[in-house]
Structure 1
């Protein structure tokens, strides 16, 4: 986000752009304002987006809103990037998905820290409004020496310090920053201090883990996010792809109070939830989504979703607005036939 030079508040919008060019122009806007990204939408002619931004000391506060779309950074965007930076993101309205070291389902108020050096995908499934705080690498490291520990992890908006940071960021909108009666560097320092407290709070959830164990745990998580769709995927196969022994893999996960089976199930659930809550997969049956996510059969998939989410996959789809009740009923009948 260091690309923006903001005296007060900068504003950008697709409102006055020709519909056929909005996606490409908006990708250019995001690239010049922040970092190179791709932007894709199922209905390009209906795409709308708005942005306001303001400098907050060393930080850049960006408020974005618009219609559903996907965006992110692949190898092409990484190759075109300049200085590395972090981005702290939080939705103000609806749930959305982020794929960044882990597949995350983030509710309003949840936070995630993104590293511009890593591949990232964002799926905004409904009209959205969220904050994106650009953070210089060296500045954040003064507050959080082990920044990698936070990258790509869900920071719950209802945790002790997560709730405090979420409440603070809701007040840290570009207009408020521009009109603040105190130095903007002081406003920024509150973000750094709260992230430091969050890092300490989250590290306390893994009292016996070591940095090397957490690092290996993250590598296992990255691998599972890519391979969870493989039926019969084993710890041996993952360990072999990472160039480590099975014993080392299990020891690292145990040090983080986790198991391979739990991590694999989490990866498959995150993969399935992204498909269930995306209109792109609206015509695919629940049973097929379960299979694509790596579940052995539709009944097991349904039980896992119900246990974790409190609703069936069909109900989750209707609640997310990705399919109608009639379509969901038809898919349920097809899935029953698969069992």
Structure 2
């Protein structure tokens, strides 16, 4: 299967070499006419994933594919003769764990997109559609390809569009609403130099796609967010009825972002709050300066409004009742939880 990029056969040097290597290009222009169809099948599989490609006309077939990185995504522009592209169950198995979402944007001629066994959606110029390579799909380009295909990691899109399954194989009207803005933005990405494409442009794409699909954009967890959440809980643990929504509002993020940040750190809000309250309660139970306080009062100051709740939590975390823990040698429960 021929898949070497004709455009990459030259050997540029220095900064020019780095720039050109950022753009991968496949073209049938320098391939003999009789070999172009086979070459193109290899190019598609090389750039994307294992797919079956059926050129509409093998004798006069021609096509070009350019691919460049964009902050963890890849922007691919495909132009050329009519063709049909299939992602089959066999291709999915051969690809192993390498799978992506693809956002398609048609530039100047209609095409048809179908995911699984659902009916095909007809895309007009400027329209968009989302497909998932973990499932079968069919792309039919009866006139010409002229399509932008943005390769999107599965986990990345899930942070922006939690219900992505609802949109697979569906037409996004590129002439209306936020889909119109998204379509123009995708076109602009193709016009940019690779050096100007990065995480900022990728995040703009995620936000616009979220808006086009009718959901509010959700900003991915920022570095240091987990530490800010932990600090807020450490400051407010004593408030009776403290909720995750209270903390999310305090640190300036959505509730979903807070839960996602905690999950990424291997924790939950309930676990974080309980750990903080029990750490404080344990310190007070062992502190000579707090000997005059009752066990119930120590529990209240640690955030436990109900003495029985404090007793259950203490047995769970320390293996003893609060009274037993008070008499035991001081030992942080953090080493065992």
Scaled to the shorter chain, the TM-score interval is 0.5 to 0.7
Bigger Rg over Cα = 2
Q: Quick check: 1:134 aligned with 2:151?
A: yes
Following superposition, the deviation at residue 21 of structure 1 comes to 2.2
Answer yes or no: is 1:21 the counterpart of 2:35: yes
Deviations 1:280-306 (A, max 9, x none): xxxxxxxxxxxxxxxxxxxxxxxxxxx
Partner of 2:128: 111
Q: Is residue 177–residue 184 contact of structure 1 (8 Å, CA) maintained in 2?
A: no
Task: Determine if contact 2:57/2:82 at 8 Å carries over to the other structure.
Answer: no
Matched residues, number: 196
Deviation at 1:185, TM superposition (A): 0.6
Q: 1:85 aligns with which of 100, 120, 123?
A: 100
Shift of 1:87: 0.2
Which aligned segments of 4 or more residues in structure 1 are displaced greater than 3 angstroms?
Answer: 4-7
* Aligned equivalent of 2:58: 44
What is the RMSD of the two structures over their aligned residues, measured on CA atoms? 2.1
Structure 2 equivalent of residue 145 of structure 1: 162
Q: Is the 8 A contact 2:100 2:133 kept in 1?
A: yes
Pair 1:69 & 2:83 matched: yes
Which of 189, 192, 200 is equivalent to 1:176? 192
Equivalent runs, 1:242-257 vs 2, <5 Å: none
Q: Distance in 1 between matches of 2:39 and 2:113?
A: 23
Deviation at 1:142, TM superposition (A): 0.9
1:43 Cα offset (Å): 2.0
Pair 1:162 & 2:173 matched: no
Q: How does 1:1-339 map to 2 (within 5 A)?
A: 7-82=21-96, 83-100=98-115, 101-173=118-190, 176-180=192-196, 184-200=198-214
Aligned equivalents of 1:46, 1:29: Cα separation in 2? 17
Give the drift of 1:199: 2.3
**Could you tell which deviates more after superposition, 70-79 or 56-65?**
70-79
| Separation of aligned partners in 2, 1:93 and 1:28 | 25
Gaps of 5+ in 2: 6-17, 217-337
* 2:161–2:215 contact (8 Å) kept in structure 1: no
Shift of 1:179: 4.1
When the two structures are superposed, what TM-score results if normalisation uses the length of structure 1? 0.55
Deviation at 1:201, TM superposition (A): 5.5
Aligned partners of 1:43, 1:94: CA distance in 2, in Å?
A: 17
Change (3 A) 1:7 1:16: closer
Deviation, 1:58, is 0.9
Q: Could you tell me how far 1:90 is from its partner in structure 2?
A: 0.7
